[in-house]
Amino acid sequence: MKKTSTRLADGRELIYYDLRDDTVRDAVDRRPLERTVTTSEVREDVLLGDSVAIASHRQGRTYHPPAGECPLCPSQGDRLSEIPDSSYDVAVFENRFPSLAGDSGRCEVVCFTSDHDASFKDLTDDQARLVLEAWTDRTAELSHLPSVEQVFCFENRGAEIGVTLGHPHGQIYAYPFTTPRTALMLRSLAAHKEATGGENLFDAVLARELAGERVVLETGHWVAFVPYAAHWPYEVHLYPRRRVPDLLALDEEARTEFPQVYLELLRRFDRIFGEGEPPTPYIAAWHQAPFGALEEFDGVVREDFALHLELFTIRRTSGKLKFLAGSESGMNVFINDVPPERAAERLREVASS
């Protein structure tokens, strides 16, 4: 992998990640851009104990542009985009309309490929491995920023999810706090550790799933399963067999095996609802241990946390979506119409031949 860092016309950072070591990246951003002005602010909800990012400047962000005006495609002739070069393997840049900025963190866009009509599942093993290396490198770099406590790499796919750009891409949020979802995991981890005299809750969950009927696929270094209490109609958690706290700690064997496992899962997701169905909308979310202090979670250290990816869709059946209505949105109590055991069975049925 070759990494090249440069600057866009308005001062934002752009990083190319290339498969070839002899690739030269010297294209200049020719757009007449002014410096980006953001109004991002993080406010604490004192009743719930969580945080909300207020970012009014995002109201003016690019919204469903025609394919010929996609800002994530490479620049060609007089059609200038966020990527000044005429091609790229993987490109990462600071979001022009960030939810978090400055002392409130940082937001980046990760372009998986220059092919506008592709999807992550269409990548080759080498391309998927390059994306993994980009996620890992950005996690390392962002963790050193003084305002950052947790790094979140994720992909939203599909208009149903709320995606405003059709080009295959994901995002990275670098939060100035430990996110509420991670804090819940850490509290459960601490309580289980104390109650069992030191047993790790993530290890116990993985062992239970391996002994049950919800495993979707397993390899020498990865296990994918539908969780016992899945929130979403089709939801898969992907764990490395060796517990590590973040992407940086994955060993070479797990990194090498990751593309085959992850690409297979994504391809199965597109086959859940049968032939002729539109691509399955999904969210793919990496959960990593925070880089901040963990004193509030008694007895827990970073190494107790288990890196894992959660992949889920809001489509519950052909032509129907799972909406977060009263119970989910009002009280955060999910109601799942698809039994996790049946979801796992279906995901095994649609395995690649």
Over its C-alpha atoms, the chain yields an Rg (Å, rounded) of: 20
The two structure tokens encoding residue 82 = 């966020």
Instruction: For tokens 């992850």, name the residue.
Output: 262
- Residues with a catalytic annotation lie at 169
**Other Cβ atoms within 10 Å of 128 Cβ, number:** 22
pLDDT at 34: 84
pLDDT at 38: 80
Instruction: For tokens 């999810």, name the residue.
Output: 161
pLDDT at 323: 94
Smallest CA-to-CA distance from 36 within 94, 109, 110, 108 is with 94
Q: List per-residue pLDDT tens for the chain, 353 residues long.
A: 999 999 999 999 999 999 999 999 999 999 999 887 787 889 999 999 999 999 877 766 666 688 789 999 999 999 999 999 999 999 999 999 999 998 999 999 999 999 999 999 999 999 999 999 999 999 999 999 999 999 999 999 999 999 989 999 999 999 999 999 999 999 999 999 999 999 999 999 999 999 999 999 999 999 999 999 999 999 999 999 999 999 999 999 999 999 999 999 999 999 999 988 899 999 999 999 999 889 999 999 999 999 999 999 999 999 999 999 999 999 999 999 999 999 999 999 999 86
The two structure tokens encoding residue 338 = 């698809």
pLDDT at 32: 94
- Distance (Å, rounded) from C-alpha 18 to C-alpha 39? 33
Full DSSP string of 167-229: SSEEEEEEESS--HHHHHHHHHHHHHHHHTTS--HHHHHHHHHHTSS-EEEE-SSEEEE--TT
- Distance (Å, rounded) from C-alpha 311 to C-alpha 160? 15
Nearest 10 degrees: CA dihedral of 200, 204, 207, 208?
Answer: -170
pLDDT at 276: 84
Smallest CA-to-CA distance from 284 within 133, 130, 172 is with 172
User: Over the stretch 81-125, which tens digit does the pLDDT of each residue have?
Assistant: 999 999 999 999 999 999 999 899 999 999 999 999 999 999 999
pLDDT at 63: 60
Q: What interhelical angle do 201-210 and 180-195 show, nearest 10? A: 90
Residue 285 burial (C-beta neighbours within 10 Å; 0-12, 13-18, 19+): middle
pLDDT at 60: 62
Are 241 and 298 a contacting pair, CB within 8 Å?
no
pLDDT at 59: 67
Indicate whether this model's pTM tops 0.85: yes
